Structure 1
Amino acid sequence: MKYMVTYDLMETVRNTNQWLGASAKALASYPAFAMLPNPTVQWMAAWGDVTERSFERMVAKPDWGIHSFTCDDGKDHLVSVETVVERPFGDLIHFAVQGRPAASRRVLLVAPMSGHYATLLRSTVVSLLPDCEVYVTDWKNARDIPVSCGKFDVEDYTLYLVDFMRYLGPETHVIAVCQPAPLTLAATAYLAEQDPAAQPRSLTLIGGPIDPDATPTDVTDFGRRVTMGQLEKTMIQQVGFKYKGVGRKVYPGLLQLASFISMNMETHSRAFTDQIQRVALGEASDHDKHNRFYDEYLAVMDMPAEFYLSTVERIFKGREIADNAFTVEGSPVDLGKITSVAVKTVEGSKDDISAPGQCVAALALCTGLPPEKKASHLEEGAGHYGIFAGRSWRNNIRPLVLDFIDANSGGQDAANTTAA
């Protein structure tokens, strides 16, 4: 499956379904059909509308959609997204609030590179903006990166984070969400040994697989069941001629999406059937609950093959982070070298992706860190998404994270109030 023809075949299927949806919508919308009181015509138009939008989303990067918010002065302030560090595989972006004095809390939000864009953290960013200067790792779609830019594996990812932390300086507070947690911990340890003056003040790890075997899930079981050869043969393809990354080996976003949907096929099928019915009855809207969710969920990106394969091999199978045996460019990265960066872990009791126990394992690995610099929180009743973007995050976890940041802000003003 690693050849371009397979990649192009998937894109052809997607494009064809988008065209079929657009055609059905256009045909059923002819004025002449309005004279025929047949619900089949309305259903056809609704099916076309939902189908076109669904398949069109799959190749479009969602917009952040954060344009303004009301500050403490009672005025609406515009928000602009600025690229402050530009790299081939990912940029460091800043959400600049126009007309507001710089917030004392500087936060680097490390987004996952796991099939979806960084915009998956939109609500997390919105919740932090009133109290923080927010920077986010904005990873790029591998299909759009020319082969001439070279490889990108877990070591390259770690060095990107090192560069971003160096750019932001030592007064930074890092929050890593899910997949990047192990590599963010490694990047912090790398700085602790190589460039101590550039270390962040604190590190918050949310629902990440520091030790995947601490509490096995379907995700970790899958990593154990398959061999690396099987993964490369069944998951890796080459980008077709339609995109700038032609020839680059990737784990295609469309293939990832198929896996996501297959895990809850009945739920997704019901959701789309219900949406078609709502469109036919005129009860749907452009930004209703269904569209808000699936506009993000269906927007997938290709992952560099070497990053995906090295993540499975080194983080899940080899447990290099869990065993403190990770290396970057041949040099060992000792997590015990972290001695001054405060570390907090956050887990959800109902997280079925990174189950409780996997993330908190980070604290035991930081053998050089005094107990007063370690903290953990288990959110009862929260699933994976809820611990960084849902009600649990907004009402319970976010205030705790801001308190943790303030308690470890050094020379910064620790008297900031945490908005509810």
Structure 2
Amino acid sequence: MRYMATYDLMETLRNTNAWLGATARTMASYPAFSLMTNPGLQWMAAWGEVTERTFERMVVKPDWGIRTLTCEDGKDHLVSIDTVVEKPFGDLLHFNVQEREEQPRKILLVAPMSGHYATLLRSTVKSLMVNCEVYVTDWHNARDIPVSAGKFDVEDYTLYLVDFMRHLGPDTHVIAVCQPAPLTLAATAYLAGEDPDAQPRSLTLIGGPIDPNANATEVTDFGHRVTMGQLEETMIQRVGFKYPGVGRMVYPGLLQLASFVSMNLDRHSKAFQEQILKVSKGQASDHDAHNRFYDEYLAVMDMPAEFYLSTVERIFKDGEIARNAFTVEGKPVDIGKITKVAVKTVEGANDDISAPGQCIAALDLCTGLPDSMKASHVEPGAGHYGIFAGKSWRNNIRPLVLDFIDQNSGATRKATDGNPAKAGAKTAAKAANSNVA
């Protein structure tokens, strides 16, 4: 019961802070107080507004917010988000651009299960949708999954990816962002051994810890520093009575958020102080840069305890993927059996989460793959977020990834000009900067 009590205590603290913020904002905004000018009341209302929004966003799943897309024909097309595969711990979504011809590039974008929702890849999805059929793994919040659904660890995660790849077929190009990179590599190797005809055509791994020991970071140091017993005792809690997953053992999203914030505490503190000042001066808006970023950043999800613990133990501590010693349901997964899937790695020179060297280790593990089907790229000046979102992704990395996909695609490309990758990049940049209804 103490695990459940701790979970409910954290939720109580979050609720209390949200209530304090709402109370301060409401009290300081009484019309009677406007009879006298009081900067203290203005600051109090601003503090309440920012505080309330901050703590309320922590339990809200963000919306994709992709309703229309400006395509290469210059017209705005409606976008429907269809669930094509539905599973207890995650769905496969298709971003269907209506009244547009099916695009020859079919991309499976594997989103991380690392504390944030798949919507963290919103800008990545928008940039690819311009001239690709985009499918995304949408992982569920463990607090909303009943205990009757069973466990979910790294092997189950791998098998989910295997099922998604089988559903999409062999003409798929897979892009894995950050955390899922090693397990996506394992899923591809699993298919190579069990169902070769279902393998995707290409695999792009972006900033993932294939070999966490290749270049140590604060994340990898933490993984080696603590014991599994310490992690289970301090990080794992049982979902409280408020949610459908009551009784499920999880690694709470609020704990993960505390870890994220502590890594750059000064920067986040300064950002919130500046936002309170802007609100008090009437210079902030509902969708300004601060709110757009933190509405997504603060929205966190619980992870199944067995997934979190097995990731730390098997990927980081034991290095099963790095040693090519990973197993699924007792069957060895030999990465060397990948012989037909082109593999590309992308790293950021300034990545402090998955440092350069960790991801490119995948190419050495693909011993059965010719060098002509391997590629790598290190983006100068890019941090972890920059290699899959922002200018570095749109202007530099995305064109390289699409060019790699085209080089390893069996489908006949419909050229828009001499270079379809560059043409797509220009249109994608235009679409990403346009207003989405």
User: Is 1:2–1:236's contact at 8 Å kept on the other side of the alignment?
Assistant: no
Residue-by-residue CA offset, 1:233-268 (whole Å, 9 max, x unaligned): 000000000000000000000111111111111111
Corresponding position of 1:403: 403
Letter in 1 for 2:345: T
Corresponding position of 1:80: 80
Corresponding position of 2:360: 360
Whole-Å Cα distance in 1 between the matches of residues 126 and 73 of structure 2? 18
Q: What's the secondary structure of 2:343's corresponding residue?
A: strand
Residue-by-residue CA offset, 1:181-214 (whole Å, 9 max, x unaligned): 0000000000011011110000000000000001
Whole-Å Cα distance in 2 between the matches of residues 243 and 300 of structure 1? 15
Residue-by-residue CA offset, 1:94-117 (whole Å, 9 max, x unaligned): 100011011110000000000000
% same residue: 78
The alpha-carbon deviation at position 390 of structure 1 amounts to 1.8
Whole-Å Cα distance in 2 between the matches of residues 210 and 80 of structure 1? 34
Whole-Å Cα distance in 1 between the matches of residues 361 and 2 of structure 2? 36
Corresponding position of 1:282: 282
Whole-Å Cα distance in 1 between the matches of residues 122 and 191 of structure 2? 28
Matched, 1:228 2:228: yes
Corresponding position of 1:205: 205
Residue-by-residue CA offset, 1:41-91 (whole Å, 9 max, x unaligned): 111111110011000000000000111111122210011111110000000
Whole-Å Cα distance in 2 between the matches of residues 268 and 107 of structure 1? 34
Corresponding position of 2:138: 138
Q: What's the secondary structure of 1:377's corresponding residue?
A: strand
User: Is 2:111–2:118's contact at 8 Å kept on the other side of the alignment?
Assistant: yes
Q: Aligned runs of 1:29-178 on 2, under 5 Å?
A: 29-178=29-178
Q: Aligned runs of 1:316-355 on 2, under 5 Å?
A: 316-355=316-355
Matched, 1:293 2:293: yes
User: Is 1:192–1:337's contact at 8 Å kept on the other side of the alignment?
Assistant: yes
Whole-Å Cα distance in 2 between the matches of residues 71 and 116 of structure 1? 29
Whole-Å Cα distance in 2 between the matches of residues 55 and 70 of structure 1? 34
Q: Aligned pair count? A: 420
User: Is 2:207–2:384's contact at 8 Å kept on the other side of the alignment?
Assistant: yes
Whole-Å Cα distance in 2 between the matches of residues 66 and 2 of structure 1? 41
User: Is 2:80–2:97's contact at 8 Å kept on the other side of the alignment?
Assistant: yes
The alpha-carbon deviation at position 412 of structure 1 amounts to 3.6
Corresponding position of 1:272: 272
Residue-by-residue CA offset, 1:116-144 (whole Å, 9 max, x unaligned): 00000000001101010000000000000
Corresponding position of 2:246: 246
The alpha-carbon deviation at position 410 of structure 1 amounts to 1.1
Letter in 2 for 1:277: L
What 5-or-longer segments of structure 2 have no aligned partner? 427-437
Whole-Å Cα distance in 2 between the matches of residues 412 and 218 of structure 1? 45
Letter in 2 for 1:217: T
Q: TM-score, normalised by structure 1?
A: 0.99
Letter in 1 for 2:78: L
Letter in 1 for 2:317: K
What 5-or-longer segments of structure 1 have no aligned partner? none
Whole-Å Cα distance in 1 between the matches of residues 36 and 321 of structure 2? 65
Q: What's the secondary structure of 1:6's corresponding residue?
A: helix
The alpha-carbon deviation at position 415 of structure 1 amounts to 4.0
The alpha-carbon deviation at position 3 of structure 1 amounts to 1.1
Whole-Å Cα distance in 2 between the matches of residues 202 and 293 of structure 1? 32
User: Is 2:104–2:411's contact at 8 Å kept on the other side of the alignment?
Assistant: no
Letter in 2 for 1:318: D
CA RMSD of aligned residues (A): 0.9
Matched, 1:21 2:21: yes
- Could you list the runs of 4 or more consecutive aligned residues of structure 1 that deviate by over 3 angstroms after TM superposition? none
Whole-Å Cα distance in 1 between the matches of residues 405 and 337 of structure 2? 21
Q: What's the secondary structure of 1:213's corresponding residue?
A: helix
